[in-house]
Amino acid sequence: MTPTEANGRPRHVRAYGDTTGDGMVQLSFTLPVPAGPQAEAAAALFARKMGLDPAMVVHAKGVGPDFTFFVVYGRSPVIVDLDEVVVAEREYPLLTAKEINLEIRSRLKRRLVIVGATVGTDAHTVGLDAILNVKGFAGEKGLEYYREIRVANLGAQVDAEELVARAAAERADAVLVSQVVTQRDAHLHHVREVSAALDTRWPSDRPRPLLVVGGPRFDPAAAADIGADRVFAKGTTPREVASYLVHSITTGGRAVAGTGAAAR
């Protein structure tokens, strides 16, 4: 294998700053050091220990009496082999709203039920509303717009067990959890709480609903680690979520949940 692919694009790449392949990167961080010459020297040393050489402190601003925020510009020695890059491919077709409604009606033979919330201490609902509310996101209508989908949006700061209890009452096919707050990995902790509640509180006579998670700091490859069926990263649109749910529930062996559909 040569360093250049057949399409003429390079296989090995470095960061671009001033000129192609110069490895220059910009890095921002905060240190618990009062603003001043010592803080700037500490920031430069910190960046050099990360491998940046040279490392130039181009911005420093005190954050209260004991912290300083920095922007550092420097050269990174890192080279990326694009052959080592792994991207999760979408394994289901991206359907139109009409196709989604038709698939649910013809295969599930009832409305698909979704219960969504942000959990624990997280009070941010922008991402949740972007997927669920009719207004939607990126020019697409939210899941409330689909005739064959019934949505219960519980809003913010919902307890994990309360969310699961409501999902059971609604006979949900899927539980959507959106988390934005990430301090001390709160987003991971709260999703694991929901997963644990589903394991222990979900009625044993029904299939467990899909647990679908979204937020800007989640790793889509880490779904299994936090007990989720699917993790969607930032920029996900309502149609992507709906297409995934239709694929997983109607063709993934989950349609058996339709027993008792008349109760819905």
Query: How far is Cα 206 from Cα 259, in angstroms, rounded to an integer?
Result: 9
Q: CA nearest 56: which of 83, 17, 21?
A: 17
Same domain assignment for residues 211 and 184: yes
Same domain assignment for residues 71 and 148: no
Domain that holds residue 132: 97-258
Same domain assignment for residues 135 and 245: yes
Which pLDDT band, with edges at 50, 70 and 90, does 187 fall under? confident
Find how far residue 211's CA is from the centre of its chain: 13
Question: Residues 217-254: pLDDT tens digits?
Answer: 778 888 888 999 999 988 899 999 999 999 999 876 44
Query: Given this model, what pLDDT does residue 51 score?
Result: 95
Query: Is 66 part of a structural domain of the chain?
Result: yes
Whether the CB-CB separation of 244 and 230 falls below 8 Å is answered with: yes
Whole-number mean pLDDT of the chain? 88
CB atoms within 10 A of CB 241: 23
Q: Which residues are catalytic?
A: 135
Of the residues 82, 116, 140, which one is the last residue of a structural domain?
82
Which pLDDT band, with edges at 50, 70 and 90, does 31 fall under? very high
Query: Given this model, what pLDDT does residue 2 score?
Result: 44
Query: Is 2 part of a structural domain of the chain?
Result: no
Same domain assignment for residues 174 and 252: yes
Across the range 178-194, mean pLDDT stands at: 82
Secondary structure of residue 262 in the 3-state scheme: helix
Angstrom CA distances, 31 to 41, 47, 65, 171, 215, stand at 11, 11, 12, 49, 26
> Computed from CA positions of residues 35, 41, 46, 50, in that sequence, does the dihedral angle turn out positive or negative?
positive
Query: Is 263 part of a structural domain of the chain?
Result: no
Of the residues 52, 82, 112, which one is the last residue of a structural domain?
82
Same domain assignment for residues 139 and 222: yes
Same domain assignment for residues 77 and 102: no
Which pLDDT band, with edges at 50, 70 and 90, does 256 fall under? very low
pLDDT at residue 53 greater than cutoff 70: yes
Query: Is 88 part of a structural domain of the chain?
Result: no
Across the range 61-65, mean pLDDT stands at: 95
Same domain assignment for residues 101 and 230: yes
Would you put residue 12 in left (φ > 0), alpha (ψ -120 to 50) or beta?
beta
Whether the CB-CB separation of 222 and 257 falls below 8 Å is answered with: no
Query: How far is Cα 117 from Cα 127, in angstroms, rounded to an integer?
Result: 10
Which CATH number belongs to the domain containing residue 231 in this structure?
Answer: 3.40.50.280
Tokens 């080279």 — which residue? 79
Of the residues 82, 112, 139, which one is the last residue of a structural domain?
82
Which pLDDT band, with edges at 50, 70 and 90, does 1 fall under? very low
pLDDT at residue 189 greater than cutoff 70: yes
Question: Residues 77-127: pLDDT tens digits?
Answer: 999 999 998 777 788 999 999 999 999 999 999 999 999 999 988 888 888
Same domain assignment for residues 107 and 63: no
Whether the CB-CB separation of 177 and 210 falls below 8 Å is answered with: no
Question: Residues 144-162: pLDDT tens digits?
Answer: 999 999 999 999 999 999 9
Same domain assignment for residues 245 and 130: yes
Query: Is 264 part of a structural domain of the chain?
Result: no
Residue 136's φ and ψ, nearest 5 degrees, are 70, -150
Query: Is 156 part of a structural domain of the chain?
Result: yes
Same domain assignment for residues 157 and 67: no
Query: Number of structural domains, the chain?
Result: 2
Would you put residue 134 in left (φ > 0), alpha (ψ -120 to 50) or beta?
alpha
Q: Which residue has the higher pLDDT, 183 or 135?
A: 135
Query: Is 252 part of a structural domain of the chain?
Result: yes
pLDDT at residue 261 greater than cutoff 80: no
The per-residue b/e assignment along 48-76, b for 16 or more CB within 10 angstroms, e otherwise, is eeeebeebebeebeeeeeeebbbebbbbb
Same domain assignment for residues 253 and 192: yes
Same domain assignment for residues 235 and 108: yes
